[in-house]
Structure formats: structure tokens, C-alpha cells
Amino acid sequence: MTLSNRDKVRNKNYTLSMKKTILSGSTVTGDLTLGNYIGAINNWKKLQEDYDCLYFLADLHALTVEQNPKILNQRTYSFLAQYLALGLDPQKNVMFVQSHIHEHTELAWILTCLTPMGYLNRMTQFKEKSEKHVKNINAGLYTYPVLMAADILLYQADVVPVGEDQRQHLELCRDIVGFFENRYGPGCFKLPEAYVGKMGARIMSLQDPEKKMSKSDDNDKNFVSIIDDAKKIEKKIKSATTDSGTEIKYDPENKAGLANLMTIYSVLSGKSTTQLEEDYVGKMYGHLKVDLADLVVETLRPVKKNYDDLMKNMDYLDQVMVDGADRAQLKAQETLKKVYEVTGLVRHPKKR
Ligand code: ATP
Ligand code: LTN
């Protein structure tokens, strides 16, 4: 499969589009979970109709924790197939792999030199990840949000749809624009806004509803991966931790586990949590779990089928990567050129 002529024309006009630009990505670790789907990719899908969207695979960010090289390589293809299987359209969106665009790391370095360590010290994700990976607290884990800022600023993104956990990184990105402009003046970057969905911005772990569902969790009972088989999904949802009460009521403070299941149910079914409370009057938690398991299995069944088909077509995945990288790089080069000019770095004479 290749891109249509219509799309090639669109690519050419890419930088002339009047639409706002959306950019987001996901670290290439584990497999995408219901949390990633509900908190992020479901929103990306809705936005692809009305914005110029760039969705990428953050493989460089994955290196901040130890990776098996062979698995990282395979997982990058698997992630692209998961994005596509979830309904992201490579004709409507620019989909690419972060490490294919060297401008990300170049801009990240320039921004690193402007970012005070005090700001990085405040990042809660760094604190959490360094507690989890005590034997590998590397400088990349620390400067992770600066690379993330470079990802966003290179493409002049207006809006960045993320889950709640990334809001702090977005705020830092906006601060970094300020540091840059104080030193070099305005004109290189847009100030991006975070877009955090109203519902499901923080899906919690199934066994420990006090912490967020995370795809790199060591205990796989804590998450449902979007490519888990039906049996696994049923088992994980039915064994999710809930309190010892019986009334089905949406109460995140006192019934965190149940509220989490109801949030998942609500987003996937389109019913409000109040509607769910009414539907389940007089019923037990077990009833809700059985229905939710069915809903999740049915929602993910076509995703898994698409995913399996895509993984048999590596040439197509390569093609999507190449097209995405070509389109992304045009924009990235434009921004980096401006940055080189204002910072006083001499552009390679043949690349001016
Ligand atoms: P890791 O375990 O490797 O840190 P993760 O599951 O936290 O991975 P990311 O790659 O960091 O996932 O995030 C991809 C996107 O999914 C981000 O926009 C993030 O905010 C969102 N996201 C991640 N976890 C959740 C969650 N539990 N609920 C809602 N959104 C989430
Ligand atoms: N850190 C993000 C992944 C990510 C990202 C980005 C998201 C890397 N670069 C730029 C939005 C914009 C995460 O979700 N863990």
C-alpha cells in the first residue's frame, strides 16, 4: 500500500495548512494499555479530523530505562501497528518514529543548556521513575522532559493531547519557551497548550487503584493491554481490586477501584457514570465486572484482528514510517534552522 496522489499533494502543502497543529507521542515500552487508549489515543483519533496531527513513537525516550535492543526494535513496529489498529490514519496524520528525525536530539541539547536543574528537580515522573529504577538513575531520565519539549516545539504544535500525568511536562515545556525567548527573543516557537480529556485522563491500576495504570508495570495484572486475548482481559477485569461494599456508586475517594472500572465502562460505552449507577441499582460489583469485561473484549476484538494483520505486513509498516519521517522532517528542519540562526551556531554551508 502506498499513499494516494491526493495525499502526496497534501504533503506538499503541509506547511501551508491553516489548521492548528496537534502533536503527541507515546514511549515505546510494553504494549499500549487501556489507560493509554482512553487517556490519550482515543482523543487523538477524534482530533485527527479537524487538525493537522503528528503522532510519533518516542523510542529515544524509551532508552531512559534499560531496554533489550532486539525487543525495542520489534516493539517499535508493534507500536506502529497498535497505533494503526486503534484507528489512527496515516493519510490523515503524520506518523513517525522519533529517532528518524535527528532534529529532536539537536534541539533537545540547545534547550537542555537553557533549562535550570531546579525545574527538572520538581518533576514527579523523574522522582517516581528513579524510585522504580534505583540501579539506573541516568541523566536521560532526568532530562527526559527537555527532549519532550523539543519534540513539541520542533513542530510548532498548538495543542498536545496527553493524560493527566504529562501535564507537568507540558508546563515545563512552556517555561522552556520563556527561557529561550528571554535569551534569544521571540519568533522560533509557538507556546503549546496541553489538552487533557475530561473523562479517563487517569486510568488507575487494576490491582492497586491508588497508582496509575502503566504499560511498563512489572505486574501484568495491573493493566489490560490493547492486544491481550479475550481470556486474559476477562481474568484481569474480574480480579480487579474493589472495596468490600456492595452499592454501585461512583465515588473515586472512597471506592477508587470501582470508580476506575466505572470510568472505563463510561468512556467505552458512552454512558455517564450516573447512568451506570442507575443501570446497576440492586446489582453486585460482580455483575458490573462481567459486563465490563464483555465490553472491553468486544471493543478490542477488531483492534487485535487489525493488529495481527498489520504485523504480517512489515513492508507496509516501513512505508508508513518512511512517509511519516519525510513529512515530519520538513517541518522540523524549518524550526531548527531558525533556532541555529538566533543562537549563533554556524549552519553547515551546504545546508543553508
Ligand atoms: P510507561 O509505563 O512506560 O511510563 P505509560 O503507560 O505511562 O508508560 P506513556 O507512554 O508514558 O504511557 O504515555 C502515553 C500517553 O498515554 C500519554 O499521553 C499519557 O499521559 C497517557 N497515559 C498513560 N497512562 C495513562 C493512564 N493510566 N490513564 C490515562 N492516560 C494515560
Ligand atoms: N513523555 C510522554 C511521551 C512523549 C510525548 C512527547 C507526549 C514524548 N514526547 C511529546 C507528548 C508530546 C509520555 O506520555 N510519557
Structural domain includes residue 51: yes
Q: What is the pLDDT of residue 1?
A: 37
Asked if pLDDT for residue 232 goes beyond 90, the answer is yes
Identity at 145, one-letter amino acid code: P
Asked if pLDDT for residue 120 goes beyond 60, the answer is yes
Structural domain includes residue 212: no
Residues 127 and 249 grouped into a single domain: no
Q: Are 80 and 317 in contact (CB under 8 A)?
A: yes
Asked if pLDDT for residue 196 goes beyond 50, the answer is yes
At which residue does the C-alpha cell 503549546 appear? Answer: 192
Asked if pLDDT for residue 239 goes beyond 60, the answer is yes
The residues with which 163 forms a beta bridge, in sequence order, are none
Q: What is the pLDDT of residue 314?
A: 97
SS (H, E, C) 111-179: HHCCCCHHHHHCCHHHHHHHHHCCCCCCHHHHHHHHHHHHHHHHCCCCEEECCHHHHHHHHHHHHHHHH
Structural domain includes residue 24: yes
Q: Is the CB of 27 under 6 A from ligand 1?
A: yes
Residue predicted with more confidence, 200 or 208: 208
Q: Are 52 and 84 in contact (CB under 8 A)?
A: no
Residues 301 and 317 grouped into a single domain: no
Query: What's the pLDDT tens digit per position in 2-32?
Result: 445 444 444 444 445 689 999 999 999 999 9
Ligand nearest to the CA of 33: 1
> Which phi-psi region, left, alpha or beta, contains residue 344 (left: φ > 0; alpha: ψ -120 to 50)?
left
Q: Is the CB of 335 under 6 A from ligand 1?
A: no
If you average pLDDT over every residue of the chain, what do you get?
A: 94
* Residue 240 to residue 208: CA distance in whole angstroms: 8
Residues 301 and 322 grouped into a single domain: no
Q: What is the pLDDT of residue 7?
A: 45
* Residue 177 to residue 111: CA distance in whole angstroms: 9
Q: What's the structural domain count of the chain?
A: 2
The residues with which 93 forms a beta bridge, in sequence order, are 53
Taking the centre of ligand 1 as the mean of its atom positions, its distance from the CA of residue 281, in whole angstroms, is: 33
Residues 13 and 87 grouped into a single domain: yes
Structural domain includes residue 104: yes
Domain with 242 in it: 220-309
Residues 122 and 136 grouped into a single domain: yes
Cell readout for 343 is: 543562537
Position 71 confidence tier, pLDDT thresholds 50, 70, 90: very high
| Closest ligand 2 atom number to CA of residue 148 | 9
CATH code at position 33: 3.40.50.620
Listed residues 278, 294, 309: the one ending a domain:
309
Q: What is the pLDDT of residue 352?
A: 76
Residues 84 and 180 grouped into a single domain: yes
Q: What is the pLDDT of residue 16?
A: 52
Structural domain includes residue 134: yes
Structural domain includes residue 214: no
Taking the centre of ligand 1 as the mean of its atom positions, its distance from the CA of residue 182, in whole angstroms, is: 32
Structural domain includes residue 206: no
Q: What is the pLDDT of residue 6?
A: 42
Asked if pLDDT for residue 162 goes beyond 50, the answer is yes
Residues 265 and 233 grouped into a single domain: yes
Q: Is the CB of 202 under 6 A from ligand 1?
A: yes
E strand or H helix at 107 = helix 103-112
| Closest ligand 1 atom number to CA of residue 25 | 14
Ligand nearest to the CA of 211: 1
Question: In percent, how much of the chain has pLDDT > 90?
Answer: 89
Q: What is the pLDDT of residue 347?
A: 83
Residues 235 and 114 grouped into a single domain: no
Q: Would you name the residues annotated as active-site residues?
A: 129, 212, 215
Q: What is the pLDDT of residue 5?
A: 45
Q: What is the pLDDT of residue 289?
A: 98
Question: Which pTM value belongs to this model?
Answer: 0.91
Among 4, 6, 22, which residue's Cα sits nearest to residue 93? 22
Q: Which residues line ligand 2 (CB under 6 A)?
A: 23-27, 58, 61, 148, 151-152, 160, 162, 166
Residues 194 and 102 grouped into a single domain: yes
Residues 170 and 286 grouped into a single domain: no
Q: Are 57 and 84 in contact (CB under 8 A)?
A: no
Position 198 confidence tier, pLDDT thresholds 50, 70, 90: confident
Residues 305 and 323 grouped into a single domain: no
Q: What is the pLDDT of residue 158?
A: 97
CATH code at position 251: 1.10.240.10
Asked if pLDDT for residue 221 goes beyond 90, the answer is yes
Residues 193 and 62 grouped into a single domain: yes
Structural domain includes residue 213: no
Provide φ and ψ at 204, rounded to 5°. -95, 165
Asked if pLDDT for residue 55 goes beyond 80, the answer is yes
